[in-house]
Amino acid sequence: MNLQDREENRRNNSVVGALINNNDAEVKEKEVFKAKSYYLSEALYKAVGLKAALIGVDKSAVVREALNIYLKDILENLEQLMKLKSK
């Protein structure tokens, strides 16, 4: 297995790569994003850029996925509240 094969395998098996490439059979609605500005340390900024380059996505996709993982419990609670409000 050469470097190109390993990189392709890494992209195909990454969470962000799966979301971006939509390898799943199910069709997802296009999500609307809002542009916001946040301050990052130089180290975080470089890490986001490196991760984006390694998996072949933009920096925003890396940050969104990291926040989705970090805030998973809160997002689930918000989803439940929205369902209750719609009833």
Q: How far apart are CA 52 and CA 61, in angstroms?
A: 8
Residue 69 belongs to domain spanning: 3-23+36-86
Provide the number of structural domains found in the chain.
1
Q: Which of 54, 60, 15, 16 is nearest to 38 (CA)?
A: 60
Q: Does a structural domain hold residue 54?
A: yes
pTM comes to 0.61
pLDDT tens-digit map of 13-72 = 666 666 656 555 455 568 899 999 999 999 999 999 999 999 999 999 999 999 999 999
Contacts of residue 14, Cβ cutoff 8 Å, sequence gap at least 6: 55
Q: Does a structural domain hold residue 31?
A: no
Helix (H, G, I), strand (E, B) or coil at 10: helix
Q: How far apart are CA 56 and CA 17, in angstroms?
A: 8
